[in-house]
Chain A
Amino acid sequence: MSETPQELRYTDTHEWARLDPDGTVCVGISDFAQDALGDVVFIELPETGTEVAAGAEVAVIESVKAASDIYSPISGEVVRVNSDLVEEPDLVNSEPYEGGWIFVVQPLNDDQMADLLTAEQYQEFCESEDHDH
């Protein structure tokens, strides 16, 4: 069973988002997503300074199974990227919520987190996706 930390918010494209005390939002992919993707071999990171809209493609993740886009959960500007992932992309598999974070966005405005899924809603969403088949 995959982990879904309560304090995070989620998207239906399997990103997680964490509002940090400095007002920025840290983004990664969920435990469910990394498990479905399998061993990650490559991550194409965005450049800092890139303006992103909520739902826009920001990064690309490639596993032994597939290549997938990673979308920004919120609108804003990319202010940091996790360059550790260049050499150790498998951090996304081993620590999806810690060392496997992907990028940090300075939000355009404050109230965007409320639009995202709660841990409970996201868990329900994952279960319904599973049951379609």
Chain B
Amino acid sequence: MPTIPTIFDTSEPGRIAGVQTPKAGDLTGLPAEALRVSKPVLPEVSELQTVRHFTKLSQQNFSIDGNFYPLGSCTMKYNPRGAHRAASQPGFLSRHPLTPAFASQGLLKCFWDLQETLKTVTGMEEVSLVPMAGAQGELAGGLMIRAYHEDCGDFDRDEILVPTAAHGTNPATATMCGFKTREIKVAADGDVDIEDLKRLVGPKTAGIMLTNPSTCAVFERRILDIADIVHDAGGLLYYDGANLNAILGKVCPGDMGFDVLHLNLHKTFATPHGGGGPGAGPVAVNSLLQPYLPIPMVGKLNDEYIWLDENYFPLTIGKLSAFMGNAGILIRALAYALMLGREGMVRVAEFATLNANYLAAELSKAGFQLAYPTRRATHEFLITLNREARDLDVRALDFAKRLLDFDMHAPTTYFPLLVPECFLIEPTETETKAVLDEFVCAMSKIREEAQEDSDIVKQAPHNQVVRRLDEVRAARVLDLTWSAD
């Protein structure tokens, strides 16, 4: 596969696509120092060249639009086009963020409705939509926990507990918020080790960060005991909303005893995962943490929607973005929620877990080893390819690469680390039974190939736009910049 040249490499001076060139606006009245004197460096190409360039780039992509994408913990569900269409209306697209609230009532109503929807889904007191990614939502949550303890005059609580299998963002968030991380062991059945929790919890505990279903892809059965233990010690419970898809409309994090949480709208609410963004990670809190929420939020005064700023929330942790987070993503999430309705959300959770349990059962029947065979799958499940690695010298990574040749994206590999040679598989509710059956066939076929000639698997992929990548070089010497010089 030849490398696609950058669009600048095909540029020729003077070539122009006249029809597509935007007309220069009226610049009279702008001060001279605000006007640029040199021309920007832009590729000079025809319309057809541009179309071909970007079409070719899109063909390099391996995405949910073309392929099954069971990437565990990432909830790669289909992003309905209707939500995109709704958010692309001119009234949303062309609205300036400084438009006064009285002239933006429709937009503010959308934010209000989404806040109310997420309050119901999470069972929490109040929601702020502003965090612009799950990680920023976590940061907001950590800062609120900190602000709460400090307001209580409790300055010694500088430890956050996380299970060893937690998402990497959890300890990173704790560190960014000035906490130390203490790791709790995970028991052999995948639940948090309660005895280890009791040993670690104490007067230094600021809080605990958990996902439920957990990163071991099982439902944390003793969550109410955990909540009691942590609350009795004066700590707070943080819910990482990464795995909300499994319990959407079924169980509220608020009912499990959580005090604060973030949601990944790009997972549960089907907004685009993008190339790392834009994202949205709204936070929800109970009444203890309500005063500290990041601003702005939308309130309702009489029949009018208003911005709630620091005048309404003087103890706020502050702003996390210049305006209202990634507004366009929030609109998409609202559209998705409205398309589903309350009953639809319940069906999401039911089909997500049904698909995962069906796929787990079929893979197990085909001879693959479930990591927690005694537990029911949630919206995802873990298998370990330890036996295949030992007997056939073909590892999880090799299976993952070979799956690409079967036009399927690999599941999440090697996470959580405590299960060796693992796949974390999340089919999502948007796949048909036929697709799940094809996945089982592909996995069995790859194992057969490994038994006959393991090189086919170990050198995969064979029929993709690239062959196996040098991951060490990609991590150490990645260079994504282009310069005109």
Q: Which residues of A contact B (CB under 8 A)?
A: 36, 38-42, 62, 64-68, 90, 129-130, 132-133
Contacts and interface: CB of A to CB of B under 8 A. Distances in A.
Contact of A133 (B384, B413, B472): B384
B417 A41 contact: no
A66 B414 contact: yes
B471 A39 contact: yes
Contacts of B414: 38, 65-66
Contacts of A36: 420
Contacts of A40: 472
> 6 smallest A-B Cβ distances: which pairs?
A41-B475, A64-B471, A65-B414, A39-B472, A133-B384, A41-B472
A133 B419 contact: yes
A29 to B, nearest CB: 14
Nearest to A68: B417
B386 A64 contact: no
B166 interface: no
Which of B384, B420, B471, B472 has the largest number of chain A CB atoms within 10 A?
Answer: B472
B285 interface: no
A132 B188 contact: yes
**Contact size range, B:** 10 to 19
B29 to A, nearest CB: 53
B176 to A, nearest CB: 15
A133 B386 contact: yes
Interface of B: 168, 188, 369, 371, 384, 386, 397, 413-415, 417, 419-420, 422, 471-472, 475-476
Contact of B420 (A62, A66, A130): A130
Nearest to B386: A133
A65 B475 contact: no
Given A36-B420, A65-B414, A133 B371 contact: yes
Contacts of B413: 65
A67 to B, nearest CB: 7
A23 to B, nearest CB: 33
Contact of B386 (A65, A90, A130): A130
A67 B475 contact: no
Contact of A41 (B168, B369, B419, B476): B476
Contacts of A132: 188
A21 to B, nearest CB: 35
Nearest to A39: B472
A77 B242 CA distance: 41
A67 B471 contact: no
Contact of B168 (A42, A64, A67): A67
Secondary structure type dominating chain B contacts: mixed
B475 A42 contact: yes
Given A41-B471, A132-B188, A133-B369, 13 more contacts: A38-B414, A39-B471, A40-B472, A41-B475, A41-B476, A66-B414, A66-B415, A68-B417, A90-B472, A130-B420, A133-B384, A133-B419, A133-B422
Contact of A64 (B188, B419, B472): B472
A63 to B, nearest CB: 9
Nearest to A131: B386
A68 to B, nearest CB: 8
Contacts of B475: 41-42, 62, 64
A2 to B, nearest CB: 12
Contacts of A129: 420
B172 to A, nearest CB: 10
Contacts of A90: 472
Nearest to A40: B472
Contacts of A133: 369, 371, 384, 386, 419-420, 422
B412 to A, nearest CB: 11
A65 B414 CA distance: 7
A39 B415 CA distance: 16
Contacts of B384: 133
A130 B371 CA distance: 12
A56 to B, nearest CB: 13
Nearest to B420: A133
Contacts of B168: 67
A43 B472 CA distance: 13
Contacts of A41: 471-472, 475-476
Contacts of A62: 475
A74 to B, nearest CB: 21
Which among B415, B422, B476 has the highest number of chain A CB atoms within 10 Å?
Answer: B476
A42 B476 contact: yes
A85 B358 CA distance: 46
- Among A62, A64, A67, the most chain B Cβ lie within 10 Å of the Cβ of A64
A105 to B, nearest CB: 23
A84 to B, nearest CB: 15
A65 B417 contact: yes
A68 B171 CA distance: 12
Contact of B417 (A39, A42, A66): A66
Contacts of B386: 130, 133
Nearest to B422: A133
